[in-house]
Amino acid sequence: MRANLAALCLAAVFAGAGVCYGQSAPPPGGSTVQPSFTEVYCSGFVKDTRLPDDNGVRVGDRFMVVRQTEDPYHVEWFKGQFKIAKAMGNLYADIGHLRVLNVQPKTSVAEVSFSCADMIRGDIVRPFEERSAPPYKEIGPFDHFAPVSGKPVGTVVTSPTFQQSQGQGSTMYVNLGAAQGVKVGDYMRIFRYQGKMIEVAPQPKGYVYQLYGYGSTPTRYEWKDLPREVLGEGIVLNASRNAATVYVTFSSADIYTGDNVEIE
């Protein structure tokens, strides 16, 4: 017998492990961190189309629970952030996994087999999709001024928690996706242009230049004449047409929304 899972009964056996978002402390020795099962399945994703919320169901079926989400603070951390985020698509948070125990004509009963957050009425249930952990590599000697790769360049737009700064062990969303050749397992280099007068750190425009004179020269320099600073790198966990979910495997400094990324 099949039933409509849109009316899924969550009177389930809450046996799944509870998971919360957090930033991992950088490991000693400057080594990288590898995304675990939790990072892979709780990272969230961006889709350029809305997900359907109506599925057939049988006993034993596995489902993923997701929730469409948006920035609750409505603060634009860098110029054009909202416009870029809208062009990327709809942002979904991963909530957890279900396994169907019993099917009724109009409802089903399922147990929670894994959870990233509390499930609530109105969450979307979609067929389970395997997400493999991408191949892992050691960072090796880190070059803070690595040459340009020549591949597509994008922007760090937001994160699952909508906070401004990220670091090693964090997840972030960038506006490079399958349309630019991005695929799961790709590595992205995270960098920042030096001397640009549009700061992404939380301070007034031109603060250190105007108040303290840092960077003052007889001839005012242009940011394009300075080397960029490479802040770290990350691995792609999920890629849609216009966006990708990136897990930061290494960082040498805080990464802010508005910083740039390029495919390695």
Least confident of 5-19, 33-47, 212-226, 242-256: 5-19
Q: Determine the residue type at 88.
A: M
CA 101/CA 103 separation, integer angstroms: 7
Is the domain of 123 the same as that of 160? no
Is the domain of 120 the same as that of 34? yes
Is the domain of 42 the same as that of 123? yes
> Which range of residues forms the domain containing residue 44?
3-127
Q: 140, exposed or middle or buried, with CB in 10 Å at 0-12, 13-18, 19+?
A: exposed
Is the domain of 118 the same as that of 172? no
Is the domain of 158 the same as that of 236? yes
Total domain count for the chain?
2
144 in any annotated domain? no
CA 100/CA 230 separation, integer angstroms: 47
Contact 139, 67 (CB under 8 A): no
208 in any annotated domain? yes
Which of 78, 93, 127 delimits the end of a domain? Answer: 127
Q: Which tens digit of pLDDT belongs to each residue from 196-238? A: 555 555 555 665 566 555 556 666 666 677 788 899 999 999 9
What percent of the chain shows pLDDT beyond 90?
53
12 in any annotated domain? yes
Is the domain of 19 the same as that of 107? yes
CATH number at residue 229: 2.40.33
Is the domain of 101 the same as that of 185? no
